[in-house]
Amino acid sequence: MTSPAKGAPGQAGAILALTGPAYLWLTVAILLPLSAMFYFSFLSEAPLAGKTGEWTLANYRAFFEQGFYGTLMLRSLRLGAEVVFWCFVLGFPCALVLAKSVKGRWREALFLLVILPFWSNALVRIFSWTMMLRGNGILERAIDWVVPGRFRLDIMFTYEAVVIGLVHSYLPYMILTCYISLQAVQDDLIEAARSMGASRLTILRRILLPLSLPGILAGVVLIFVPVIGSFMEPRILGGRNGTFIGTVIEDQFTAVFNWPLGAALSFIMLGCVGVVFALSRLALGRRG
Protein backbone atom coordinates (compact mmCIF):
# COMPACT_ATOMS: atom_id res chain seq x y z
CA MET A 1 0.00 0.00 0.00
CA THR A 2 1.08 3.50 -0.70
CA SER A 3 1.81 5.45 2.40
CA PRO A 4 -0.09 8.71 2.70
CA ALA A 5 1.62 11.36 0.61
CA LYS A 6 0.86 14.78 -0.76
CA GLY A 7 -1.16 14.68 -4.00
CA ALA A 8 1.21 13.18 -6.57
CA PRO A 9 0.21 13.23 -10.24
CA GLY A 10 -1.85 10.22 -11.25
CA GLN A 11 -3.49 10.07 -7.85
CA ALA A 12 -6.20 12.49 -8.87
CA GLY A 13 -7.81 9.79 -10.98
CA ALA A 14 -7.74 7.27 -8.16
CA ILE A 15 -9.15 9.74 -5.67
CA LEU A 16 -11.91 10.69 -8.05
CA ALA A 17 -12.77 7.07 -8.76
CA LEU A 18 -12.86 6.22 -5.06
CA THR A 19 -14.72 9.21 -3.69
CA GLY A 20 -16.69 10.24 -6.77
CA PRO A 21 -19.58 7.77 -6.50
CA ALA A 22 -20.20 8.39 -2.81
CA TYR A 23 -20.11 12.15 -3.21
CA LEU A 24 -22.20 12.15 -6.34
CA TRP A 25 -24.76 10.22 -4.36
CA LEU A 26 -24.64 12.65 -1.45
CA THR A 27 -24.98 15.54 -3.87
CA VAL A 28 -28.08 14.17 -5.54
CA ALA A 29 -29.75 12.97 -2.37
CA ILE A 30 -28.80 15.66 0.14
CA LEU A 31 -27.14 18.72 -1.32
CA LEU A 32 -29.39 19.35 -4.30
CA PRO A 33 -32.58 18.74 -2.31
CA LEU A 34 -31.50 21.21 0.35
CA SER A 35 -30.58 23.77 -2.32
CA ALA A 36 -33.92 23.25 -4.03
CA MET A 37 -35.67 23.73 -0.74
CA PHE A 38 -33.74 26.96 -0.17
CA TYR A 39 -34.86 28.13 -3.61
CA PHE A 40 -38.50 27.21 -2.92
CA SER A 41 -38.46 29.16 0.33
CA PHE A 42 -38.21 32.38 -1.67
CA LEU A 43 -41.11 31.59 -4.00
CA SER A 44 -44.71 32.72 -3.66
CA GLU A 45 -45.92 29.25 -4.63
CA ALA A 46 -44.37 25.91 -5.48
CA PRO A 47 -43.41 25.84 -9.18
CA LEU A 48 -45.34 22.62 -9.75
CA ALA A 49 -48.21 21.60 -12.01
CA GLY A 50 -47.54 24.39 -14.50
CA LYS A 51 -47.49 27.12 -11.88
CA THR A 52 -44.64 29.55 -11.59
CA GLY A 53 -43.89 31.04 -8.23
CA GLU A 54 -42.70 34.59 -7.96
CA TRP A 55 -39.68 35.72 -6.03
CA THR A 56 -40.73 36.82 -2.55
CA LEU A 57 -39.68 37.12 1.06
CA ALA A 58 -43.25 36.64 2.26
CA ASN A 59 -42.60 33.17 3.64
CA TYR A 60 -39.89 34.41 5.95
CA ARG A 61 -41.96 37.48 6.81
CA ALA A 62 -44.85 35.21 7.79
CA PHE A 63 -42.73 33.80 10.59
CA PHE A 64 -42.30 37.22 12.13
CA GLU A 65 -45.75 38.55 11.35
CA GLN A 66 -47.74 35.56 12.64
CA GLY A 67 -46.84 35.49 16.30
CA PHE A 68 -47.61 31.80 16.76
CA TYR A 69 -44.76 30.56 14.59
CA GLY A 70 -42.31 32.28 16.90
CA THR A 71 -44.11 30.91 19.94
CA LEU A 72 -43.91 27.39 18.54
CA MET A 73 -40.23 27.80 17.62
CA LEU A 74 -39.45 28.83 21.20
CA ARG A 75 -41.55 25.95 22.45
CA SER A 76 -39.54 23.53 20.34
CA LEU A 77 -36.27 25.03 21.55
CA ARG A 78 -37.48 24.69 25.13
CA LEU A 79 -38.45 21.08 24.45
CA GLY A 80 -34.97 20.45 23.04
CA ALA A 81 -33.32 22.01 26.08
CA GLU A 82 -35.47 20.07 28.53
CA VAL A 83 -34.96 16.74 26.82
CA VAL A 84 -31.20 17.36 26.73
CA PHE A 85 -31.26 18.32 30.40
CA TRP A 86 -33.07 15.16 31.50
CA CYS A 87 -30.94 12.96 29.28
CA PHE A 88 -27.87 14.41 30.95
CA VAL A 89 -29.22 14.13 34.48
CA LEU A 90 -30.26 10.52 33.94
CA GLY A 91 -27.53 9.50 31.54
CA PHE A 92 -24.33 10.88 33.01
CA PRO A 93 -24.49 9.00 36.32
CA CYS A 94 -25.41 5.91 34.41
CA ALA A 95 -22.37 6.29 32.16
CA LEU A 96 -20.24 6.97 35.23
CA VAL A 97 -21.34 3.79 36.94
CA LEU A 98 -20.75 1.82 33.77
CA ALA A 99 -17.34 3.31 33.06
CA LYS A 100 -15.86 3.52 36.51
CA SER A 101 -17.72 1.26 38.83
CA VAL A 102 -18.49 -1.89 36.88
CA LYS A 103 -15.81 -4.05 35.35
CA GLY A 104 -15.26 -6.96 33.04
CA ARG A 105 -17.96 -9.04 31.46
CA TRP A 106 -20.65 -7.34 33.50
CA ARG A 107 -19.75 -4.00 32.05
CA GLU A 108 -19.89 -5.35 28.52
CA ALA A 109 -23.26 -6.95 29.08
CA LEU A 110 -24.74 -3.92 30.84
CA PHE A 111 -23.42 -1.60 28.21
CA LEU A 112 -25.08 -3.61 25.48
CA LEU A 113 -28.27 -3.68 27.48
CA VAL A 114 -28.25 0.11 27.67
CA ILE A 115 -27.81 0.71 23.97
CA LEU A 116 -29.95 -2.18 22.84
CA PRO A 117 -33.27 -0.28 22.97
CA PHE A 118 -31.69 2.55 21.05
CA TRP A 119 -31.27 0.22 18.13
CA SER A 120 -34.85 -0.75 18.02
CA ASN A 121 -37.28 1.27 16.01
CA ALA A 122 -37.86 4.72 17.52
CA LEU A 123 -41.42 4.85 16.29
CA VAL A 124 -42.27 1.57 17.92
CA ARG A 125 -40.81 2.71 21.22
CA ILE A 126 -42.81 5.95 21.19
CA PHE A 127 -45.88 3.93 20.44
CA SER A 128 -45.19 1.66 23.37
CA TRP A 129 -45.34 4.70 25.68
CA THR A 130 -48.94 5.32 24.73
CA MET A 131 -49.80 2.09 26.47
CA MET A 132 -47.84 3.09 29.55
CA LEU A 133 -49.14 6.61 29.93
CA ARG A 134 -52.74 6.59 28.81
CA GLY A 135 -55.59 6.89 31.23
CA ASN A 136 -56.12 3.61 33.05
CA GLY A 137 -52.92 2.42 31.39
CA ILE A 138 -50.08 0.41 32.86
CA LEU A 139 -48.55 3.25 34.86
CA GLU A 140 -51.81 4.30 36.51
CA ARG A 141 -52.61 0.69 37.26
CA ALA A 142 -49.20 0.11 38.75
CA ILE A 143 -49.50 3.17 41.00
CA ASP A 144 -52.99 2.13 41.93
CA TRP A 145 -51.66 -1.27 42.90
CA VAL A 146 -48.96 0.19 45.14
CA VAL A 147 -51.05 3.03 46.57
CA PRO A 148 -54.70 2.06 46.21
CA GLY A 149 -57.09 4.90 45.57
CA ARG A 150 -58.74 6.59 42.68
CA PHE A 151 -55.62 8.24 41.39
CA ARG A 152 -55.44 9.84 37.97
CA LEU A 153 -51.99 10.49 36.63
CA ASP A 154 -53.33 12.50 33.71
CA ILE A 155 -50.06 12.50 31.88
CA MET A 156 -50.98 11.28 28.42
CA PHE A 157 -51.37 14.10 25.88
CA THR A 158 -49.32 16.56 27.85
CA TYR A 159 -46.03 18.29 27.24
CA GLU A 160 -44.54 16.02 29.89
CA ALA A 161 -45.61 12.93 27.97
CA VAL A 162 -43.71 14.21 24.94
CA VAL A 163 -40.65 14.87 27.11
CA ILE A 164 -40.80 11.38 28.60
CA GLY A 165 -41.08 9.75 25.20
CA LEU A 166 -38.22 11.78 23.75
CA VAL A 167 -35.95 11.23 26.77
CA HIS A 168 -36.57 7.54 26.43
CA SER A 169 -35.69 7.74 22.74
CA TYR A 170 -32.49 9.71 23.12
CA LEU A 171 -31.14 8.76 26.54
CA PRO A 172 -28.91 5.99 25.14
CA TYR A 173 -27.13 8.59 22.97
CA MET A 174 -26.09 10.53 26.06
CA ILE A 175 -25.05 7.41 27.93
CA LEU A 176 -23.02 6.27 24.93
CA THR A 177 -21.12 9.52 24.35
CA CYS A 178 -20.50 10.16 28.07
CA TYR A 179 -19.37 6.60 28.58
CA ILE A 180 -16.83 6.81 25.79
CA SER A 181 -15.23 9.96 27.13
CA LEU A 182 -15.41 8.90 30.77
CA GLN A 183 -13.67 5.71 29.93
CA ALA A 184 -10.78 7.64 28.48
CA VAL A 185 -10.19 9.29 31.86
CA GLN A 186 -7.23 7.48 33.43
CA ASP A 187 -8.02 5.67 36.64
CA ASP A 188 -4.58 6.72 37.93
CA LEU A 189 -5.67 10.33 37.80
CA ILE A 190 -8.63 9.62 40.03
CA GLU A 191 -6.45 7.56 42.35
CA ALA A 192 -3.94 10.37 42.60
CA ALA A 193 -6.62 12.89 43.39
CA ARG A 194 -8.08 10.65 46.04
CA SER A 195 -4.73 9.99 47.64
CA MET A 196 -4.36 13.72 47.96
CA GLY A 197 -7.58 13.79 49.90
CA ALA A 198 -10.03 14.97 47.27
CA SER A 199 -13.61 14.10 48.06
CA ARG A 200 -15.85 12.27 45.60
CA LEU A 201 -17.65 15.48 44.80
CA THR A 202 -14.40 17.27 44.09
CA ILE A 203 -13.22 14.47 41.84
CA LEU A 204 -16.52 14.63 39.99
CA ARG A 205 -16.46 18.39 39.68
CA ARG A 206 -12.78 18.97 38.97
CA ILE A 207 -11.79 15.87 37.01
CA LEU A 208 -14.63 13.75 35.68
CA LEU A 209 -16.98 16.47 34.47
CA PRO A 210 -14.38 18.67 32.75
CA LEU A 211 -12.61 15.72 31.13
CA SER A 212 -15.82 14.22 29.79
CA LEU A 213 -17.06 17.54 28.45
CA PRO A 214 -16.46 16.59 24.79
CA GLY A 215 -18.61 13.51 25.24
CA ILE A 216 -21.33 15.46 26.99
CA LEU A 217 -21.33 18.06 24.22
CA ALA A 218 -21.49 15.38 21.53
CA GLY A 219 -24.50 13.95 23.33
CA VAL A 220 -26.10 17.38 23.57
CA VAL A 221 -25.78 17.98 19.83
CA LEU A 222 -26.91 14.48 18.90
CA ILE A 223 -30.04 14.91 21.01
CA PHE A 224 -30.88 18.58 20.58
CA VAL A 225 -30.92 18.52 16.77
CA PRO A 226 -33.41 15.71 16.19
CA VAL A 227 -35.63 16.80 19.07
CA ILE A 228 -36.06 20.26 17.56
CA GLY A 229 -37.23 18.63 14.35
CA SER A 230 -39.42 15.98 15.93
CA PHE A 231 -42.98 15.68 14.73
CA MET A 232 -43.91 12.03 15.11
CA GLU A 233 -43.37 11.92 18.90
CA PRO A 234 -45.47 15.02 19.67
CA ARG A 235 -48.23 13.81 17.37
CA ILE A 236 -48.50 10.46 19.09
CA LEU A 237 -47.91 11.48 22.71
CA GLY A 238 -48.82 15.18 22.77
CA GLY A 239 -52.46 15.20 21.73
CA ARG A 240 -53.79 18.69 22.25
CA ASN A 241 -50.39 19.74 23.57
CA GLY A 242 -48.52 18.29 20.65
CA THR A 243 -48.12 21.32 18.43
CA PHE A 244 -44.49 22.22 17.77
CA ILE A 245 -42.62 23.84 14.93
CA GLY A 246 -41.84 20.35 13.60
CA THR A 247 -45.50 19.38 13.35
CA VAL A 248 -46.30 22.69 11.64
CA ILE A 249 -43.56 22.11 9.06
CA GLU A 250 -44.78 18.57 8.44
CA ASP A 251 -48.29 19.92 7.95
CA GLN A 252 -47.09 22.35 5.29
CA PHE A 253 -45.70 19.44 3.29
CA THR A 254 -48.26 16.69 3.79
CA ALA A 255 -51.54 18.55 4.32
CA VAL A 256 -51.67 22.27 3.67
CA PHE A 257 -49.45 21.98 0.58
CA ASN A 258 -47.65 25.25 1.18
CA TRP A 259 -44.19 23.95 0.37
CA PRO A 260 -42.53 27.37 0.16
CA LEU A 261 -43.72 28.24 3.66
CA GLY A 262 -42.62 24.83 4.95
CA ALA A 263 -39.22 25.38 3.31
CA ALA A 264 -38.83 28.82 4.88
CA LEU A 265 -39.81 27.51 8.32
CA SER A 266 -37.28 24.68 7.91
CA PHE A 267 -34.46 27.10 7.21
CA ILE A 268 -35.50 29.33 10.09
CA MET A 269 -35.35 26.24 12.28
CA LEU A 270 -31.88 25.40 10.98
CA GLY A 271 -30.87 28.99 11.64
CA CYS A 272 -32.12 28.78 15.21
CA VAL A 273 -30.22 25.55 15.80
CA GLY A 274 -27.12 27.23 14.41
CA VAL A 275 -27.52 30.28 16.64
CA VAL A 276 -28.04 28.11 19.71
CA PHE A 277 -24.84 26.24 19.04
CA ALA A 278 -22.88 29.38 18.25
CA LEU A 279 -24.06 30.92 21.53
CA SER A 280 -23.23 27.84 23.57
CA ARG A 281 -19.79 27.66 21.99
CA LEU A 282 -19.24 31.27 22.86
CA ALA A 283 -20.34 30.68 26.43
CA LEU A 284 -18.13 27.62 26.77
CA GLY A 285 -15.22 29.35 25.11
CA ARG A 286 -15.36 32.22 27.54
CA ARG A 287 -15.30 29.90 30.51
CA GLY A 288 -12.52 27.66 29.43
Q: Under rule CB under 8 A, which residues in 196-255 are in contact with another protein? A: 200, 203, 208, 221, 225-226, 228-232, 235-236, 239-243, 246, 248-251, 253-255
In angstroms, what is the minimal distance from the CB of 196 to another protein? 15
Which listed residue (10, 104, 149, 288) binds another protein by CB under 8 A?
104
The span from the CA of 2 to the CA of 145, in Å, is 69
Distances (CA, A) of 285 to 90, 222, 279, 280: 26, 20, 10, 8
Beta carbon nearer to another protein, 197 or 287:
197
Annotate 75-98 with b (16+ C-beta within 10 A) or e (fewer): bbbebbebbbebbbeebbebbbeb
Q: Does 176 bind another protein (CB under 8 A)?
A: yes
| Contacting residues for 272 by C-beta, under 8 A, at least 6 apart | 73, 77, 228
Which listed residue (58, 81, 97, 217) binds another protein by CB under 8 A?
97
Q: How many residues bind another protein (CB under 8 A)?
A: 131
In angstroms, what is the minimal distance from the CB of 278 to another protein? 14
The span from the CA of 10 to the CA of 26, in Å, is 25
Stretch that binds another protein, among 52-60, 123-131, 209-217, 279-287 (CB under 8 A): 123-131
Which listed residue (163, 259, 261, 264) binds another protein by CB under 8 A?
259
Stretch that binds another protein, among 52-60, 212-220, 268-276, 278-286 (CB under 8 A): 268-276
Which listed residue (59, 63, 84, 172) binds another protein by CB under 8 A?
172
Question: Taken in order 30, 35, 41, 44, is the CA torsion positive or negative?
Answer: negative
Stretch that binds another protein, among 52-60, 65-73, 212-220, 279-287 (CB under 8 A): 65-73
Stretch that binds another protein, among 46-54, 209-217, 278-286 (CB under 8 A): 46-54
Q: Does 132 bind another protein (CB under 8 A)?
A: yes
Q: Does 81 bind another protein (CB under 8 A)?
A: no
What are the φ/ψ torsions at residue 55 (nearest 5 degrees)? -65, 125
CB-count burial class (<10 Å; 0-12, 13-18, 19+) for 223: buried
DSSP per-residue letters across 142-205: HHHHHS-S------TTSHHHHHHHHHHHHHHHHHHHHHHHHHTS-HHHHHHHHHTT--HHHIII
The span from the CA of 20 to the CA of 56, in Å, is 36
Beta carbon nearer to another protein, 131 or 283:
131
Beta carbon nearer to another protein, 18 or 57:
18
Q: Does 72 bind another protein (CB under 8 A)?
A: yes
Residues in the chain: 288
